[in-house]
Amino acid sequence: MSAEARVEPGAPVLAVEDLHLTYVTADGDVPALRGVSLEVRSGEVLGLAGESGCGKSSLASTVLRLQPASARVSGRVLVSGEDVLTLRWGALRAVRWAGASIVFQGALHSLDPVQRVGHQIEEPIALHEPGTSPAERRRRVAELLEQVGLPAARARAYPHQLSGGQRQRVMIAMALACRPDLVVADEPTTALDVMVQAQVLALLSELVRGSGVAMVLISHDLSVLGQMSDRVAVMYAGRVVEQGPASAVLGDARHPYAAALSGAFPRVGDPAARFAPSGLPGDPPDLRSLPPGCPFAPRCHRAAPTCAEAEPALLPLAVPSGPTSAAGPAGPAGPAGPRERLAACVRLEES
């Protein structure tokens, strides 16, 4: 049940294909994900960026089928080749923790306050590998704690006895307990100080590079994503609006929303950012009543009348340097689609 080589080398550990998720609420349907396609390979970090309510966390929970039972879902979520959305319960439980695990935001609220942290790390091991002896599980817990930079004796601590950084390390140890192929980290450092954030990020990237885990890293902080990710996808109103290599998306964002987002995090030492904070006026749209056409158009400084006509598709960008693909623009769900540099903006084709 643990991570045997179910994944062929080079095959994606996670493949999300045209995923739609709609929450059914008393106030009407909320389309939180509207056709998202992504993939992550082993040893690779995909950064997911966007404002609150853009669908980042909805995507994270749908990867492990943790969305509310009332929500409507379509599309495919393949974890090591198995479609999580259609798995039977027993098989799904095997995927949770062992195939893929989540590091949730806010470690204080995700840990059980009345259980020792060692017990909490041990729990998924006991559940997934019932054959292991208690002594062996305790040894695994000690190893995991050391792997995340905590003394093994901290297994006896309760969450309130640990600092924020230490609690986040415990969450990471839990996520690694069953040696998953995929780790989804949802804002793992948001509540932490800069120095502790740097410690946790260094730990995460060591784990990914060292063990070949695939990771989806969710953050509203583009500078964190830039430091950690191989590729970055920027989401807006339930869709990916730009995606590509991290340095390209953050250093030279093409979609006006991605550009505004990366401009909001100044580089210290950049004279252009002194006394010139850059923001983005307006608020994200209400998902219940999306405007016609491009949902970003009402906030976009480049918007033209054509933007309100149809929602732009996520298309490959012409890369100025290097040979352009002979096949020409492929559809967004094309076989090589999710790995190219893509953007969803009609104004890019015009310029």
Q: Which is nearer to another protein, 97 or 236 (CB)?
A: 236
Residue choice 43, 221, 290, 302 for contact with another protein (CB under 8 A): 221
Binders of another protein among residues 106 to 165 (CB under 8 A) are 163-165
Residue choice 83, 252, 283, 349 for contact with another protein (CB under 8 A): 283
CB count in 10 Å sphere of residue 115:
13
Q: Which is nearer to another protein, 19 or 280 (CB)?
A: 280
Residue choice 199, 205, 211, 306 for contact with another protein (CB under 8 A): 199
277's tokens:
């904070």
Nearest partner of 192 among 163, 165, 155, judged by Cα? 165
Under the binding rule (CB under 8 A), the answer on residue 289 touching another protein is: no
Sequence-distant (6+) residues with CB within 8 A of 239 are 33, 34, 35, 36, 55, 295, 314, 344
Residue choice 202, 310, 318, 319 for contact with another protein (CB under 8 A): 202
End-to-end CA distance of the chain: 52
Q: For another protein, what does the binding mask look like between residues 241 and 280, x meaning CB under 8 A?
A: -------------------xx-xxxxxxxx--xxxxxxxx
Q: What is the DSSP letter of 290?
A: P
In order of 116, 117, 182, 200, 239, the CA distances from 167 in angstroms are 12, 9, 21, 11, 32
Sequence-distant (6+) residues with CB within 8 A of 160 are 113
d(CA 278, CA 2): 47
CB count in 10 Å sphere of residue 80:
25
SS3 74: strand
Q: Which is nearer to another protein, 92 or 198 (CB)?
A: 198
Under the binding rule (CB under 8 A), the answer on residue 220 touching another protein is: yes
Under the binding rule (CB under 8 A), the answer on residue 205 touching another protein is: no
- Residue 269 Cβ, how far from another protein at the closest point, in Å? 5
Under the binding rule (CB under 8 A), the answer on residue 193 touching another protein is: yes
Q: For another protein, what does the binding mask look like between residues 51 and 80, x meaning CB under 8 A?
A: xx----------------------------
Under the binding rule (CB under 8 A), the answer on residue 301 touching another protein is: no
Q: Pairing relation of β-strands 14-25 and 72-79?
A: antiparallel
- Residue 52 Cβ, how far from another protein at the closest point, in Å? 6
Interface positions with another protein (CB under 8 A): 51-52, 163-165, 193-199, 202, 220-224, 226-227, 260-261, 263-270, 273-281, 283
